[in-house]
Amino acid sequence: MTPRTLHLAESIDGLPPGIRGWTTTKANGSFGLGSDEPVGAVMGRWGALLADLGDLGVERLATAHQVHGAEVMTHGTGWHGWLRGREADGHVSVARGTALAVTVADCTPVLLWHPGGAIAALHAGWRGTAAEILDRGLDALASLGFPEEECTIWLGPSICGQCYEVGPEVLRAVHGGAHHGKGLLDVRAALARQAARRHVATVRTSSGCSRCDTARYFSHRSGDAGRMLGIIALT
């Protein structure tokens, strides 16, 4: 069954049985909870998502108030519905019937999975990348018995390296070393290097840029208040 939220979204192909993943686009509408858009419209989209997940046999959706940090929450069973945690930018679960989601609009939605039945969703802007949230997510999966050498990472639509000019303090935070002027930052490339350092089995990167294609994606740098979702579900 195809969730209605996959309509006009970008689905991830080649996932193992029992795992579904996709990122919404501007055409799906905003899922941001901090804009001036009428609450009913935004909550209606979340309600439709919950109904879609229910059609897939998913009874739990974990999200959080994101703070551009490196905190990762691990979710088990024993609860139902929509959980919105406090101050976390990542989620991990090995519980069937669970979906994980992060909101983005230039930051990278990082979706991870292990074919044995483990998933993670991370929100990675430059701060989260510098704080090594990817390592935190991989550590959480490894602690549950799912080593990174057997995992796949999907780096979803986000601002590309040719569009993202940042100051020297950002370049130092992400790359280390001495940087004395503005430069371009490719967050997805930095995440891919971190994944390679951890010997992750496969890294897949979307070609979508939120700043290049503002007709398709929300972009914070372009002035959009809307937010997209990166979603991964263990059915």
pLDDT of residue 1: 52
User: In this predicted model, what pLDDT tens digit does every residue of 195-205 receive, in sequence order?
Assistant: 999 999 999 99
3-state SS track over 120-173: EEEEECHHHHHCCHHHHHHHHHHHCCCCHHHCEEEECCECCCCCCEECHHHHHH
pLDDT tier at 8, thresholds 50, 70, 90? confident
Question: What is the mean pLDDT of the segment spanning 35-47?
Answer: 94
- Give the 3-state secondary structure percentages of the chain, helix then strand then coil, rounded to 5: 25, 30, 45
pTM score, whole prediction: 0.96
Return the exposure string of 113-152: e unless at least 16 CB atoms fall within 10 Å of the residue's CB, then b.
bbeebbbbbbbbbbbbbbbbbbbbbbebbbeeebebebbb
Domains and CATH numbers, the chain: 4-234 (3.60.140.10)
